[in-house]
């Protein structure tokens, strides 16, 4: 092994753990062995990597710089190994994926689980967030986005998966008790389950009409700031909700809920895969984009 690689693993483990003892546990070595390895590395480099105290170890300024370099070099080595594996026909290596919370749990995770089974050396790291993350700042390789910014950044690639559809639906038990609404005005006599915005107010419902799409506020019985929880309340028979079809398609198929006011269903937001264009050149990113598009496409 090259002298340049000796001691890197114990150094990184110590920096992450904050002590020689915890690093030794992770590496299955003795604390003395880890401490000596780091000391030899410091002697070879001619710098102090850690500021030592009786309580814990803290990276010095030189240690911080060396830590960042080591992490980058090891990531590049991992990427190189992934490229070699891909040349043999296998999708492999680490990839960071950003997904919306509910859509990520319900649609993206099943797709990724299938891909992990198909490609045993693929190592996804999945971040769940409903905000529009900065792919460059947070080092996201691929993101799934519901909706699009006003101006799509030139540095981002995009691939549309389709467009969600918003429908009105309710549990059969609720409709048996309260009747089925025949028109929009009938909703005033029904219990409505609205989606809650960040400030606690209800988001307006969208209704298709002859002139296009109308936004209208309803008087909700229940306001829920989570799409899956909104679905759960509807399944429990608490009222009528407006839902994206990807969220309730299994419940519709099973008959657990039924669509109402079908003539007023509207197109929803478009769904995209997004990625930094600079990373499109890697075989791993390109292959994974195609795999995800195939599994997540909305017809």
> How far apart, in whole angstroms, are the C-alpha atoms of residue 298 and residue 245?
10
User: For the chain, where do the domains classified as CATH 1.10.10.10 start and end?
Assistant: 8-70
Which distant-in-sequence residues (6+ apart) come within 8 Å of 20 by Cβ? 14, 31, 34, 35, 38, 57
User: For the chain, where do the domains classified as CATH 3.40.190.10 start and end?
Assistant: 85-163+270-296, 165-268
Q: Are strands 93-99 and 142-146 parallel, antiparallel or unpaired?
A: parallel
C-alpha Rg value of the chain to the nearest Å: 26
pLDDT category, 3, cuts 50, 70, 90?
low
**pLDDT of 95 above 60:** yes
Which residue is associated with the tokens 């803290």? 58
Which distant-in-sequence residues (6+ apart) come within 8 Å of 188 by Cβ? 219
Q: Minimal CA–CA distance to 168: which of 203, 206, 215?
A: 206
Lowest mean pLDDT: which of 90-94, 214-218, 280-284?
Answer: 280-284
CATH of domain 8-70: 1.10.10.10
Contact 167, 245 (CB under 8 A): yes
> How far apart, in whole angstroms, are the C-alpha atoms of residue 46 and residue 3?
14
DSSP letters for 190-240: S-EEEEB-TTSPBPPEEEEETTEEEEE----SEEESSHHHHHHHHHTTS-E
241-261, pLDDT tens digit by residue?
Answer: 999 999 999 999 999 999 999
Q: Is 287 helix (H, G, I), strand (E, B) or coil?
A: helix
Contact 5, 74 (CB under 8 A): no
Lowest mean pLDDT: which of 141-155, 210-224, 271-285?
Answer: 271-285
Q: Is 179 helix (H, G, I), strand (E, B) or coil?
A: coil
Burial class (CB in 10 A: 0-12, 13-18, 19+), 274: buried
Which residue is associated with the tokens 């790291």? 125
> How far apart, in whole angstroms, are the C-alpha atoms of residue 285 and residue 282?
6
CA distance between the termini of the chain: 53
CATH of domain 165-268: 3.40.190.10
37-85, pLDDT tens digit by residue?
Answer: 999 999 888 999 998 877 778 899 998 999 888 887 777 676 666 555 5
**pLDDT of 1 above 50:** no
* Predicted local confidence at residue 279, as pLDDT: 62
The correct answer on CATH 1.10.3720.10 for the domain covering 85-163+270-296 is no
Q: What is the dihedral of CA 254, 297, 206, 106, to 10 degrees?
A: 50
97-147, pLDDT tens digit by residue?
Answer: 999 999 999 999 999 999 999 999 899 999 998 887 888 888 899 999 998
* Predicted local confidence at residue 85, as pLDDT: 54
**pLDDT of 8 above 80:** yes
Sign of the alpha-carbon dihedral angle for 158, 153, 197, 217: negative
Share of the chain above pLDDT 90, in %: 49
Sign of the alpha-carbon dihedral angle for 127, 152, 164, 231: positive
Two structure tokens written together for 196: 């809650």
182-200, pLDDT tens digit by residue?
Answer: 999 999 999 999 999 888 8
Contact 276, 156 (CB under 8 A): yes
């Amino acid at each position: 092994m090259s002298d340049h690689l000796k001691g890197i693993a114990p150094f990184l483990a110590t920096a992450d753990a904050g002590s020689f003892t915890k690093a030794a546990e992770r590496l299955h070595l003795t604390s003395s062995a880890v401490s000596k390895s780091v000391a030899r590395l410091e002697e070879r480099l001619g710098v102090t990597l850690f500021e030592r105290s009786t309580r814990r170890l803290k990276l010095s300024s030189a240690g911080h710089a060396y830590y960042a370099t080591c992490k980058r070099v090891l990531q590049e080595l991992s990427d190189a190994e992934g490229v070699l594996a891909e040349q043999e026909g296998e999708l492999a290596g680490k990839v960071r994926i950003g997904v919306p919370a509910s859509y990520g749990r319900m649609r993206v995770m099943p797709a990724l689980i299938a891909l992990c089974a198909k490609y045993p050396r693929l190592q996804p790291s999945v971040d769940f967030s409903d905000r529009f993350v900065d792919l460059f700042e947070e080092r996201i390789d691929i993101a799934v986005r519901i909706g699009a910014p006003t101006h799509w950044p030139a540095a981002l690639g995009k691939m549309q998966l389709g467009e969600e559809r918003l429908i009105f639906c309710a549990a059969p038990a609720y409709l048996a008790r309260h009747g089925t609404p025949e028109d929009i005005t009938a909703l005033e006599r029904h219990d409505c389950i609205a989606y809650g915005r960040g400030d606690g107010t209800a988001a307006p419902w969208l209704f298709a009409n002859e002139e296009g799409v109308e936004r209208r506020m309803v008087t909700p019985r229940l306001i829920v700031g989570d799409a899956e929880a909104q679905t759960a309340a509807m399944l429990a028979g608490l009222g009528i909700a407006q839902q994206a079809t990807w969220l309730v398609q299994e419940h519709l198929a099973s008959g657990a809920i039924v669509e109402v006011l079908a003539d007023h269903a509207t197109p929803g937001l478009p769904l995209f895969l997004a990625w930094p264009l600079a990373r499109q050149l890697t075989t791993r990113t390109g292959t994974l984009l195609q795999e995800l598009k195939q599994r997540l496409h909305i017809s």
